[in-house]
Amino acid sequence: MQARLTDRNFRIETDGEAVYVFNCEQFVKGSSIRGIFKRLSIGEDASHAFYLGRELMKADLARHLGKKYIQGEPLDWGYLSYPEEASDGGPRPRARRRPGRRR
């Protein structure tokens, strides 16, 4: 897959064992996202670094829980999911409850 890439945009993939980050110039595989982040050539763009850090956290969480991760998409795991777009610095939305269940 990496051999077909011609741009420098990072792609993030995961499986049960590792997180993979790659573009046309780099391929980094690891189980420590801190280690992966340190090995990436990010440059001085803070917003890009923030985005990559956020996506790496999501990929690592999905990997640890055995869930599916899709880069750039909210983590959608059923009733435990919450909309990421609602995250505006206010209180975090509560997890959706299953119909008919009481606390």
103: in domain:
no
- pLDDT tens-digit profile, the chain (103 residues): 888 888 888 999 999 899 999 999 999 999 999 999 999 988 888 999 999 999 999 999 999 988 899 999 988 877 766 676 544 555 444 544 445 544 4
95: in domain:
no
d(CA 52, CA 3): 21
44: in domain:
yes
Beta strand extents in 1-103 (DSSP E only)? 11-14, 19-22, 27-30
In this prediction, residue 100 carries a pLDDT of 53
Residue among 59, 68, 47 nearest 22 (CA): 59
13: in domain:
yes
33: in domain:
yes
Domain containing 62 equals 2-86
**Domains held by the chain: number:** 1
